[in-house]
Every structure is written in C-alpha cells, then in structure tokens.
Homo-oligomer: A and B are copies of this chain.
Amino acid sequence: MNSGSSADLSLPATYPGGVNQFRSDGSLRHLLTLEGVPTSMIIGLLDTAQGFVRKIGKQRPALSQALHGVTVANLFTEPSTRTRVSFELAAKRLGADVVNLELQLSSRVKGESMLDTVCTLEALHVDVLVIRESEPGVLALVANNVAPHVSVLSAGEAHISHPTQGLLDALTVRQYKKRFDNLAIAIVGDIQHSRVARSAYQVFRALGVPDLRIVAPPALMPKPDEFTGCSRHATLKAGLKDADVVMMLRIQKERMTHASLPDADRYFSKYGLTPERLAVAKPDAIVMHPQPMNRGIEIASDVADGTQSVIRDQVSNGVAVRMAVLQTVMERVTAE
C-alpha cells in the first residue's frame, strides 16, 4: 500500500485501511500518515514550512492569498481546540475560506454517516477536509472514497497517526539540531496509545535519525513488532542518557486508573521529567511536548518552562507546517 514511492522507507506498511496518498504524477494529495511519504517530499514540506515560520512576538505571521477561493472544512469528531485552531489559522492566513463542523456520529453507522457527510462537503465545493477521528480506519475510508478534487488531511487519528504533528516535531528538531543523521532522540511516556509517538517515529526514521529510543513503563510499551529499530528503556535514566532530543508525551489520566499502572503521583515520581532527570541528557538537549501538558505528572513545570523547552516553537511550527501541507496539496488546484 501507499504507492510505490515508499521504497525509500523501510517501515512495514501498517496504516489501517490502506490508502494511496499521491496523485498519478506523484504529487501529494492526502496526508493521513507519514508512512510511505518519500523522504524527499518530507524534506520539501519542511522547507516550505520553514518559509512560513515567523519569530513569535518579533514578526507578523506569514500571510498569502495562495488559497484564495479554496474552501477548507475542519471536521472534528472529538474535541481538539488547539489543533483545530492551528489548522484554521493556517488556512485563513493562506486566504482560504474555513468552515468548522463538529460531528457526533453514532458509532454503529459511523463510516457510512461520515461518507455521506463527506459527500455533502464535496458537493459544497469543499476542497480540503481536515479530519480528527477517534476510530482507526475511518480516515482511509474517506480518502479512498472522496471525489478526485478533494484532499483529506489527518488532524489526528486514534492512536495511529498524527502526521502534521510528526512534521512539526521534525521541523522543530531541525531548527535546533540542523541535521538528523547524528541524533539520539528519546520518546517518553504512553507510547502504546500515542499517535504522536507513531508519527514521530515514522518521520525520524525517514529522516535518518540513527538512535531512536522509546521510554515507558512496561504497561505502556507498544508490541514488539512496532517501533522496530528503537531501543526500549524502562527508566528515564537509561533512556535519556546523552540524548539530543527528549520528546515527552501526554499521559491520559484515564489510563492511570488501570490496575497495571501507577497513579499520578507515582507516575511522576518514576517517569516525570524533572531537571535532575533531564541532566543525564546532553547539556544542549531540547525538550518537546505535543500539549496539552499535565504539569506535575509527565513533566515538571521547571522543565516545561525551562531554557531547554522548545514547546512554544512546536506550536508555532505547527501553523507553518499546516500552511505548507495545505499549500502543497492544493498546488495543482490553485494553479488552474
């Protein structure tokens, strides 16, 4: 699956449902997963995104009319204010019209209802569907059935994929570390349930990061056939040793009530990132978090707000990356 252009990526293709994200000329049409996206295209998206980056508080945001006349629909079936606003601003700053839809679809007829909704949006001349979805496979179903002129972008899918998050994480790392082929990157937390971790893994693999690590309590580790090539660590001390990048994940409190998991205090005492624990990483290591944070659970405020934190950059890069993706998938449309 995912077209022949995935040759340069050695990952097993596990994206559920299967989807061809490319047009026949090889250009990007959908973005549901970073799996199978050629490294050259990932780098191209990062370069385009970098062109949209403006210093927070020093410069006005990048504005263009590249998407004038284009309609973007944000279709969220689970609430996510931050990601929705990020996509909304990205589209507006490119001159697009944006409509927001919050859908509660009963799960029994979800796929079907989603397809009918999408069919409606197509007929309304919506060009881009930005979809957040808690059920794996619905996005592929949509992308595989949507009219040829429509692009589908994932704004987060179940525990599976969050490709624009992966790209913004990569962009942030590149801004601070310049290259990827000499980095040690540790991803810490609830790896098993994390779409952020999966997309980060995919993008960093594609970009040639040699030392990728996942750090989690045993109950939150993914199955052995996932995250192949990553070293696995049960303690921060081992996992963060000489790391260049420390990516913390949000821990779902619901998960901690589960019997096999410690409570919040005990989680923090073992896996919370404190300045002391961070000290085992390289002195210039950067700390990342996809937000929203549980301060005092997975991360200490000292670290979240400290000099090594690049969490703010991640957010800012998020708009730039989404502008780049929107502009890229609409390039042919707006050129007409």
| A→B interface (CB under 8 Å) | 54, 56-58, 60-61, 63, 69, 71, 73, 81-82, 85-86, 88-89, 92-93, 97, 99, 101-103, 109, 112-113, 116-117, 119-125, 147-150, 291-293, 295, 311-316, 318-319, 336
Contacts and interface: CB of A to CB of B under 8 A. Distances in A.
Given A81-B103, A88-B99, A101-B85, A61 B125 contact: yes
Given A56-B147, A60-B336, A291 B85 contact: no
Nearest to A58: B149
A125 B319 contact: yes
Contacts of A82: 117, 120
Given A99-B88, A99-B89, A292-B113, A123 B312 contact: yes
A71 B89 contact: yes
A285 B319 CA distance: 48
A119 B56 CA distance: 11
Contact of A69 (B60, B81, B112): B60
B56 A125 contact: yes
Contacts of A148: 57
A301 to B, nearest CB: 8
Contact of A125 (B102, B103, B316): B316
A73 to B, nearest CB: 7
Contact of A122 (B150, B291, B295, B312): B312
A204 B88 CA distance: 40
A71 B60 CA distance: 10
A109 B122 CA distance: 39
B124 A319 contact: yes
Given A89-B125, A123-B315, A125-B316, 11 more contacts: A58-B149, A60-B69, A61-B71, A61-B125, A81-B103, A116-B292, A116-B293, A116-B295, A117-B292, A122-B312, A124-B316
Contacts of A61: 69, 71, 125
B54 A124 contact: no
A295 B103 CA distance: 18
Contacts of A117: 81-82, 292
Given A113-B292, A124-B89, A293-B116, A63 B69 contact: yes
A319 B101 CA distance: 17
A147 B57 CA distance: 7
Contact of A54 (B63, B116, B119, B125): B125
14 contacts: A56-B125, A57-B148, A57-B149, A58-B149, A60-B69, A63-B69, A85-B121, A89-B97, A89-B125, A116-B291, A119-B315, A124-B315, A124-B319, A125-B319
A201 B325 CA distance: 46
B85 A99 contact: yes
